[in-house]
Amino acid sequence: MRFEFKTLKPAPHFAEIPAEKWSNWIWQMQQTLNTEADFSKVFELNEGERGGFGQGGKLFKVSATPYYSSLGASCQSIRRTLLPTGLEVKPGAQQMEDPLAEIVHSPTSRIIHRYSDRVLFLVTDTCSVYCRYCTRKRFTGQEEGLINRQDYQNALQYIRNHKGIREVILSGGDPLTLSNRILGQTLRDIRAIENIEIIRIGSKMPAVCPMRVDKELIATLKEYSPVYMMTHFSHPKELTKEAADALGLLVDHGIPIFNQTVLLNGINNHAAIIQALSRRLLYLRVKPYYIFQCDPSEGTDHLRTSIESSEKIVKELWGHLSGLAMPTLSLDIPSGGGKTTLVPNFLEKSSEGLREYRGWDGRRGIYKNPEGEEILPPDVGEYFEEWEVLKRAKTPCP
Ligand SMILES: *Cc1c(COP(=O)(O)O)cnc(C)c1O
Ligand code: SF4
């Protein structure tokens, strides 16, 4: 079976909008829905959702483009990721303002440096949708907006001064909410730093506003290659014709795409949904990279799954899903330990030089080390020094 990606039908409220406006990303961003009144034009809000809006000043910002609102109105699962409910103020098992201790890992404003070779650079706090499960609620949608000149220069200087940093991950907020002019300038400044090999851009825009991916954006990204795109598709219903075209355009122009998904309770926490999402992404030449255990940020208890149920999903997929389509289950250790991967355990017995496994279909097997073979050092040559330099790099961890 091949997959069919269908053009999204705008919600009735947008029925009269001409196609050239609808397919223009700037129009989509300017027409973003923000208030209860805006959303009631597209959704028949239920009591829980009205209760969510009723939280007033405490409410984590709510926004969505006309395109994504229309998608939410046609799919209950997506609706739950973008509309607030009263459950967001219910006390939960773990409610952390800064679950990943990013504040203490921030040596200068807008930089998060947890791993020695790569940093996050929070270029804006604006997103095209405010996911109810966002891990960075303390920052996103707080209307700080663009970074100021001084913070921007300090961030670049920090990256320049730390030669161990090889990769910059543009994040936020959503870097693709920036204009091509500002995005291009940022990419140019980062590319000019000698120690930087890879630039990644984390963005939900291909899902929320796929019109953002146009020829002009592609030209901007190509100029600073290698640039990797990290998308955020959480449900197969997000893979419309528009989204498929956006992904195709990126890959056609040499921009590799990796997808990250958050496992969400009652939304995508089933092997059938994850396999559907993963196979369609792979067909569109996008590598399913991580599925994340939802972080315990404030107001997310009703959206988090249990660790055991997440592990069960991955174990079910094993053996039925191509390794290319298989995402890695990952949990960001609260309080800033970095990520840990949760891989199904096939080990049955272990002793010196011997391991016994039971595979995905129940078959057992033993692996033995070679007899009396000495483990020989290969000729490491010029790579020795490169590795030593990488190992010496430090993070500013407290
Ligand atoms: C997730 C994360 C990264 C990237 O990790 P990868 O495993 O390389 O994808 C980098 N820095 C921070 C602070 C992160 O949270
Ligand atoms: S797109 Fe990412 S940063 Fe923005 S609200 Fe959603 S999870 Fe948070």
Which of these is catalytic: 166, 339, 355, 358? 339
Provide CATH 3.20.20.70 ranges for the chain: 111-340
Per-residue pLDDT at 94: 87
Our answer to whether residue 295 is catalytic in this structure is: yes
At residue 345, what is the residue type? N
Residues in contact with ligand 2 (CB, 6 Å cut-off): 127, 130-131, 134, 136, 140, 174, 204, 232
CA dist 186 → 170, 175, 365 (Å): 9, 10, 52
Give the ligand whose atoms come closest to the C-alpha of residue 331: 1
Active site residue 134: yes
Task: Tell me, in angstroms, the distance from the centre of ligand 1 to residue 56's CA.
Answer: 33
Predicted local distance difference test score (pLDDT) of residue 104? 84
Distance CA 225, CA 288 (A): 21
Give the number of the ligand closest to the Cα of residue 202. 2
Is residue 223 within 8 A of residue 252, CB to CB? The reply is: no
- Phi-psi category of residue 333: left, alpha or beta, with phi > 0 → left and psi -120 to 50 → alpha: beta
In the structure encoding, which two tokens stand for residue 305, read together? 């799954």
> Residue 126 Cα, ligand 2 centroid: separation in angstroms?
9
The per-residue pLDDT string of the chain (398 residues; one tens digit each, 9 = 90 and over) reads 799 999 999 999 999 999 999 999 999 999 999 999 999 999 999 999 999 999 877 899 999 999 999 999 999 999 999 999 999 988 788 889 888 888 889 999 999 999 999 999 999 999 999 999 999 998 999 887 788 999 999 999 999 999 999 999 999 899 999 999 999 999 999 999 999 999 999 999 999 999 999 999 999 999 999 999 999 999 999 999 999 999 999 999 999 999 999 999 999 999 999 999 999 999 999 999 999 999 999 999 999 999 999 999 999 999 899 999 999 999 999 988 899 999 999 999 999 999 999 999 999 999 999 998 788 999 999 999 999 999 998 887 65
Confirm whether 379 is a catalytic residue: no
Q: For residue 191, indicate whether it is catalytic.
A: no
Give dist(CA 133, CA 199) in Å, integer. 26
What pLDDT is recorded for position 375? 87
Distances (CA, A) of 6 to 23, 42, 64, 242: 15, 20, 20, 8
**3-class SS letters over the chain:** CCCCCCCCCCCHHHCCCCHHHHCCHHHHHHCCECCHHHHHCCCCCCHHHHHHHCCHHHCCCCCECHHHHHHHHHCHHHHHHHCCCHHHHCCCCCCECCCCCCCCCCCCCCEEEEECCEEEEECCCCCCCCCCCCCCCCCCCCCCCCCCHHHHHHHHHHHHHCCCCCEEEEECCCHHHCCHHHHHHHHHHHHCCCCCCEEEEEECHHHHCHHHCCHHHHHHHHCCCCEEEEECCCCHHHCCHHHHHHHHHHHHCCCCEEEEEECCCCCCCCHHHHHHHHHHHHHCCEEEEEEECCCCECCCCCCCCCHHHHHHHHHHHCCCCCCCCCCEEEEEECCCCEEEECCCCCEEEEECCEEEEECCCCCEEEEECCCCCCCCCCCCCCHHHHHHHHHHCCCCCC
115 lines ligand 1 (CB under 6 A): yes
Q: Which atom of ligand 2 is nearest to the CA of 202?
A: 2
Q: Which atom of ligand 1 is nearest to the CA of 114?
A: 13
Atom 8 of ligand 2, residue of closest alpha carbon: 134
Kindly report the protein residue whose alpha carbon is nearest to atom 1 of ligand 2.
204
State the ligand closest to the CA atom of 259.
1
Mutate to test the pocket of ligand 1, among 293, 329, 339, 342 (most ligand atoms within 8 A of CB): 339
Residues 9/74, Cβ–Cβ less than 8 Å? yes
Instruction: Give the CATH class of 111-340.
Output: alpha beta
363 is catalytic: no
